[in-house]
Amino acid sequence: MGGYLTNFGVHPRDPYGLIGIPLAPFIHGSWEHLIANTSIAWALVFLVALSGRAVLWRASTIIVLVSGLGTWVVASPLTVHVGASGLIFGWVTFLIFQGWYSRSILQMLLGVVVVFAYGGVLWGVFPTTMGVSWQMHLFGAIGGVIAARSVGQDMRRNRQVMKRRQRMQRAPYQDAPLYGSAGPGNRPWGGR
């Protein structure tokens, strides 16, 4: 692990380092690093995928881009950032905030469960441990909130459209304007 592949990680403020933004989550510095990230990633992927494959891909793409770009801009030059922890932090915050933005009770309950199960990892956004990319953690968490807002607003909008369609199927002309009415008390055929 590590070695040559870490050359494809995020190299802050180096144009060559931009290639690491989509690749860094798949590169790890050691087997221990890979195992630590993989064990939590599977559970989080499952929970995010409960909202659908499209949501998983969209949220993951936003998180990877925000965590990678944020790290590329803010982290110290001459360092290399690899690992899926930015994605993991993003999935955690995505799950916590998705219920808020989608206004879904089930998503809110899932967010509470995630806070209790994984909320402790969020301390990793602070620079406390040498050799750990707190920048990737921080921007991954920010990316998760951005993804939750984007996905949640779309989910809420889609729910409103579905409710409107269901209402129209029950009473298709209920909200339609009335044309040709002779007015109250008048019969359109001329009688009284």
Summarised one tens digit per residue, pLDDT across range 64-86 is: 999 999 999 999 999 999 999 99
Whether pLDDT at 191 is above 60:
no
Asked if 28 and 107 count as a contact pair (C-beta separation under 8 A), the reply is: no
Residues 6+ apart with CB under 8 A from 38: 84
Whether pLDDT at 98 is above 60:
yes
Whether pLDDT at 172 is above 70:
no
State the pLDDT confidence band at 190, using cuts at 50, 70 and 90: low
Whether pLDDT at 157 is above 90:
no
Whether pLDDT at 134 is above 80:
yes
| Residue 178: per-residue pLDDT | 61
Asked if 71 and 133 count as a contact pair (C-beta separation under 8 A), the reply is: yes
Provide the token pair at 153.
């607003």
Whether pLDDT at 141 is above 60:
yes
State the pLDDT confidence band at 173, using cuts at 50, 70 and 90: low
Of the candidates 63, 66, 140, 55, the one whose C-alpha atom is nearest the C-alpha of residue 102 is: 55
State the pLDDT confidence band at 181, using cuts at 50, 70 and 90: low
The neighbouring-strand residues paired with 75 are: none
Mean pLDDT, residues 114-128 taken together: 84
| Residue 150: per-residue pLDDT | 95
Q: Which fold is adopted by the domain 3-170? A: Rhomboid-like fold (1.20.1540)
CA separation (Å) from 56 to 52, 114, 144, 168, 182?
A: 6, 16, 11, 31, 56
User: Helices H, strands E: what count in the chain?
Assistant: 6, 0
Q: In this structure, how many other beta carbons lie within 10 angstroms of the beta carbon of residue 107?
A: 22
Whether pLDDT at 143 is above 80:
yes
| Residue 129: per-residue pLDDT | 78
| Residue 88: per-residue pLDDT | 95
